[in-house]
Amino acid sequence: MPILNYKPQGVCSREMIIEYEDGIVKDAKVIGGCHGNLQGICSLIKGMKIEDVIARLDGIKCGYKPTSCPDQLAQALKTIK
């Protein structure tokens, strides 16, 4: 199963580890950031199509920042496509 290690930019999290297969997110973990929220997001995207995750998370902002951890997950997944 392919694994993507992604270094997010402009957010508190330091690394995103995403396992995927056949266009489906199999597992995701985020190191750093708001642990509870990111743990919940990672749980929710398991089993989803990569394109659906991108559609839901792309463009979400965190406060005054131009990006967020969910947006960075979308950016990571875009590198797979």
**pLDDT the model gives residue 29:** 98
Q: pLDDT tens for residues 21-69?
A: 999 999 999 999 999 999 999 999 999 999 999 999 999 999 999 999 9
**Cα distance between residue 53 and residue 62, in whole Å:** 18
Instruction: Quickly state the pLDDT bin for 81 (edges 50, 70, 90).
Output: confident
List the chain domain ranges.
Answer: 3-78
Secondary structure of the chain in the HEC alphabet?
CCEEEECCCCCCEEEEEEEEECCEEEEEEEEECCHHHHHHHHHHHCCCEHHHHHHHHCCCCCCCCCCCHHHHHHHHHHCCC
The predicted structure's pLDDT at residue 69: 97
- Topology of domain 3-78 in CATH is Enolase-like; domain 1 (3.30.390)
* Global confidence as pTM: 0.95
